[in-house]
Amino acid sequence: MTDSDSKSDSTIFPFTALVNQEVAKEALLVAILNPAVHGVLLLGSKGTGKTTMVRSLSGLLPEKRVIELPVGSGEDMVLGTVDAEKTLATGELSVKHGILSRADQAILYIDEVNLLPDHLVDVILDAAATGKYRLEREGISAEIPSRFILIGSMNPEEGWLRPQLLDRFGLAVHVHGLERVDDRAEVFSRYHRYSCDPEEFAGQFREQQDALCKRLQQAAGFLQDVEMPANLLRRVIEMVLEIDISTHRAELTACQAAMTRAAINGRKQVEWEDVQAMLPLALQHRLGEAETQTRLTWDRLEQRIFEGRQETEQNKPGWLPSPFYRKKKAKKPA
């Protein structure tokens, strides 16, 4: 197990030092602030900064350390087992707790989650949803607390999770390598400075880090008071239905995420811009596999809805193409 909390705050790469990747960073902040969002799945090739982003979350919220599940972990490492050495020494049955137990009240990060056996992914997702799991071993039957924020990452080129498992993640974000020369040069510069002197580098971003921590703590204080206007709620549901997504998790997650984004931005009411930012992330991994492999932006979501409406019209008896049939944008509800 790798526990980012074993490093001091001054040696963890600062979240505010990350270059670009604004969509992914916002999704991560929303997820760690509100457990009801049910975590984030980061999609992208190796070397795009996914793990660095997740590790940098340590310390942003009080006691929210990042615990990593090592690649290749087996069931005993994840769930726990009998502590044979202690049992023999004391004569009493003793449990060696697994990573799910140690992740209680923390952020659990699983890299290459798509390569884990399905039954382990099921157990982890169930624990993330219920805040507990059951350990059944010879002589042991225990319900163990495991309340954590789940963040997974995967390289789609190495295979996908089953749709039923994808649906259990609240948000999904495509993370690509930066395309601007200036951005990539800045990544190198910051990585080099951090490698040479982590504490000195972290000190350069301490003011920004402190400001972000304060902002998140203030948002956490009134998150429960944030309102979702009825007209925006109905519009979210309409758009979910228009792209033929049946799971209720889509709108539940989108609305929770929009409310959390509003809180982070110091507002007690969701605005249309919050919906535009969060709805594509809640729908990204709930589309068909071919569509899921491409980043879903707001413009693409509108196009998808438009194409669905056009297909519906074409299926009506007596339909004829019209030069006046034009794409309509998804307007802000009145």
Residues whose CB is less than 8 angstroms from the CB of residue 140 and which lie 6 or more positions away in sequence, other chains included: 82, 93, 95
> Which residue in 184, 215, 249, 267 is the catalytic one?
249
User: pLDDT averaged over the chain?
Assistant: 88
Q: How far apart are CA 217 and CA 33, in angstroms?
A: 9
Query: Do residues 168 and 125 lie in contact, with contact meaning Cβ atoms separated by under 8 Å?
Result: yes
User: Which of 1-15, 98-112, 126-140, 193-207 is the least confident region?
Assistant: 1-15
Q: Output DSSP code: residue 227.
A: B
**pLDDT tier for residue 32 given thresholds of 50, 70 and 90:** very high
CA dihedral 253, 254, 259, 261 (to 10 degrees): 110
Domains annotated on the chain, with CATH: 2-179+190-202 (3.40.50.300), 226-314 (1.10.8.80)
Query: Do residues 48 and 155 lie in contact, with contact meaning Cβ atoms separated by under 8 Å?
Result: no
Query: Do residues 56 and 18 lie in contact, with contact meaning Cβ atoms separated by under 8 Å?
Result: yes
* Side-chain half-sphere CA neighbours of 168 within 13 A: 20
**pLDDT tier for residue 323 given thresholds of 50, 70 and 90:** very low
| The pLDDT of residue 93 | 67
User: Which of 216-220, 272-276, 311-315 is the least confident region?
Assistant: 311-315
Residues whose CB is less than 8 angstroms from the CB of residue 164 and which lie 6 or more positions away in sequence, other chains included: none
**Residue 295 a catalytic site member:** no
Q: How far apart are CA 78 and CA 129, in angstroms?
A: 16
Which residue, 81, 109, 74, is CA-closest to 95? 81
pTM beyond 0.85: the answer is yes
